[in-house]
Structure 1
Amino acid sequence: MAVPVVSSVSPNKGPVSGGTTVTLTGTGFTGATAVKFGSVAATSFTIVSGTQIIAVTPAGTGAVNVTVTTSGGTSTPSVTYTYVPAPSLSSLSPSQGPVSGGTVVTLTGANLSGATAVRFDGVAASSFTVVSATQITAVTPAHGAGSAAVTVTTPGGTSNPLSYGYFNAPTLTALAPTQGPTYAGSAVTLTGTSLTTATGVFFGSTPASFTVLSATQVTVVAPAGAAGAVIVTVVTTAGTSNGLTYTRVEGPAI
């Protein structure tokens, strides 16, 4: 009987914990008595034909030779299988964005090379790029308001989850008072929805100091400006609100 020959193994990478089902292709597999990954026997194997074996990988580390033994001998160790450490995530930035998706998020961690998927609550990222073994950039998919578990999958397995928050875009329904002086200092109360993550309030293009009171209310100090109407907007991590009109008048507020 001829000595078996292993020509390929697919997939050729998997987790260090083992348990991956792989297909060995070659010749002379009939009557195989052993399949080994390095010096460790496969957890199990099935001879499909003289040219194919299906095996389950044992636990291991690094790159190891895959061999098949029959009564004709043991194959030459020329095909390797690589054990890949499981990926892990340590941070993501930003950690929140709009429900519409489209936010570019940077994931930082370890063993991220060869990533095959980035998921937000099981939903695939719109796209992702492996920058290095410690960093991936991903574009968030659309998702309902709330938190989503973010994971990265590689041949080494699936990472621990990190939380990403989805928020509805802010809206403004009222501001009071609607008029004030041209000089700075007037307190204005903005009412609306999804204001919790406000990062800026603008009178036209001029930023104003503000305090978030709740998801529906923000107080702001109107900045100085020329007499006339100006559009007030709120910016949050989920986007920019609709605008409401605030009017500056000369002299005392009307």
Structure 2
Amino acid sequence: MGSEYSICLSFDPKWSCTWCGNVGSHISHCTSPPSTNSADVLCGQPRIESFEPVSGPLEGGARIEIRGRELGLSLGDVKDRVFVGGSKCDVLEYEVSSKIVCVAGPGSGPSAIQLRLGQSGRRFVDSSALFHFVDPQPKSVYPTFGPVSGGTRITIYGSNLSVDSNTTVLIGDYP
């Protein structure tokens, strides 16, 4: 019925899914059902398998998609419990056990993504890969001049320029 406890628990109660050994089963197929169905007691430790992007701006705002297993039973399990480098990552989207999308707060340097799940927070994981907070560094602009009427296509050169998908470039007060 379910290979992860949080998925089993998320089923409609009419399916009577319970955790039996290491698999979700209908309660009638379980010879010794657990004494509790508490996710904090029975769910395995969360596992972060991947996240993207791997970097974002120092001031925060990066939209991070985290994929994994046992990533909670409900939005309530993860809300206010996802952190990047100690800063809260506000949850925007959630799929039971497998996906969290959040917006990172401000940070600095390389940092692990941290999850503290459930009501007790005893189910936790830090990502093995690091998220990097970086500062975009524009170095030069080409061409250096154009007609007053505008319309000139410009190219900006530098490092960490692709760190934010919501970048706006202004020339004077004009986008």
| TM-score w.r.t. length of structure 2 | 0.55
2:94 to 112, 127, 130: 130
8 Å CA contact 2:142–2:155 kept in 1: the answer is: no
Residue 64 of structure 1 is aligned with which of 18, 34, 37?
34
SS in 2 for 1:113: coil
Shift of 1:143: 1.2
Between Structure 1 and Structure 2, which shows a larger proportion of strand residues? 1
Contact 2:115/2:124, CA 8 A, preserved across alignment: yes
| 1:177/1:80 CA distance change after superposition, 3 Å | closer
Amino acid at match of 1:163: L
Q: Which moved more, 1:84-93 or 1:122-131?
A: 122-131
1:99 corresponds in structure 2 to 58
Q: How does 1:87-236 map to 2 (within 5 A)?
A: 87-114=46-73, 115-116=77-78, 117-144=81-108, 146-155=109-118, 157-161=123-127, 162-172=129-139, 174-175=140-141, 178=144, 230=152, 232-234=154-156, 235-236=161-162
Distance 2:72 2:65 in 1: 14
Decide whether aligned partners of structure 1 residues 134 and 80 sit closer, same or farther in structure 2, where only a CA change above 3 A counts.
Answer: closer
The residue type equivalent to 1:64 in the other structure is: P
2-structure distance, mates of 1:175, 1:124: 35
- Structure number with greater Rg is 1
Flag as ranges the 4+ runs of structure 1 deviating above 2 A.
62-65, 79-82, 126-130, 169-172, 174-180, 228-235, 238-244
Q: CA deviation at 1:169?
A: 2.9
* Residues 65 and 100 in structure 2, CA contact (< 8 A), matched pair in contact too: yes
Task: Report the Cα distance in structure 1 between the residues aligned to 2:84 and 2:94, rounded to whole angstroms.
Answer: 16
Q: Give distance in 2, aligned partners of 1:101 and 1:118.
A: 14
CA apart distance, 1:148: 1.5
- Point out the structure with the larger helix share: 2
Alpha-carbon spacing, 1:92–1:179, altered in 2? closer, same or farther (3 Å): same
**Change in 2 beyond 3 A, CA 1:99/1:63:** farther
Number of aligned residue pairs: give it.
122
Listed one character per residue, the Cα deviations across residues 115-138 of structure 1 (whole Å, up to 9, x for unaligned) are 331111222113343222111111
Distance 1:169 1:177, change over 3 A: closer
Structure 2 portions without partners, runs of 5+:
1-31
Which runs of no fewer than 5 residues in structure 1 stay unpaired? 1-61, 66-78, 181-227, 245-254
Deviations 1:175-212 (A, max 9, x none): 577479xxxxxxxxxxxxxxxxxxxxxxxxxxxxxxxx
Higher relative contact order (CA 8 A, sep 6+): 2
Q: TM-score, normalised by structure 1?
A: 0.40
